[in-house]
Amino acid sequence: MKRHSLFPLLISTLVAGLNLTAPPALADGDPEKGRILSEQHCSRCHVIGDFNPFGGIGSTASFQMIAKMKDAVERFQSFYARRPHPAFLTVPGVDKWSKAPAYATEFTITLEQVEDIVAFAKTLKKLPIRRTRTRGR
Ligand code: HEC
């Protein structure tokens, strides 16, 4: 009796699986649109370049600090799925992991706008990270 090889089936299943998890192919974002979106929606918690050097929440990393990380692009591309953002952010087409009521002002952002923010974040990489003196002279 001839044995049927499951190899082609295995490969096509793997390829289909990869396709499911691949990020959607989006055009490169517009950094200027990303800047406006970031200042509008993110600056109440994050320091964003020279826009609000003494603003944001002290415990939250500034955009320029995150931008310097090795995996910065990935972090900005997926920020909407990373804590704490899903608690107050809606992205059309992306399931929320919680139905709990938002504890911060809610807003909506599209996947295309996420790419604009990524493009803007790339421009912050070269900015210095300001450190404020908290004690001493
Ligand atoms: C209500 C406050 C708040 C708002 C608004 C907010 N963030 Fe954040 N963000 C946080 C906090 C807090 C963290 C740190 C989470 C941690 O370290 O676990 C964070 C972390 C991040 C990180 C790093 C994620 C990681 O896992 O390393 C990115 C990127 C980010 N935010 C992008 C954004 C962008 C882009 C916006 C606006 C569209 C935004 N955030 C709006 C509070 C906020």
Q: Is the CB of 43 under 6 A from ligand 1?
A: no
Query: Which token pair is 88?
Result: 């107050």
Tens digit of pLDDT for each residue in 44-94? 999 999 999 999 998 899 999 999 999 999 999 999 999 999 999 999 999
- Work out whether the CA dihedral 16, 116, 59, 95 comes out positive or negative: negative
Average pLDDT of 99-120?
94
Report the alpha-carbon distance of residue 98 to residue 57 in Å, rounded: 23
User: 103 φ, ψ to 5°?
Assistant: -105, 0
Ligand 1 atom 6, closest CA: 42
pLDDT tier at 96 (50, 70, 90 boundaries)? confident
Question: In the structure, what pLDDT confidence band is assigned to residue 20 with cuts at 50, 70 and 90?
Answer: very low
Distance CA 115, CA 126 (A): 19
Q: Is the CB of 80 under 6 A from ligand 1?
A: no
Query: What rounded mean pLDDT belongs to the chain?
Result: 85
Q: Is the CB of 35 under 6 A from ligand 1?
A: no
Q: Whose Cα sits closest to atom 26 in ligand 1?
A: 82
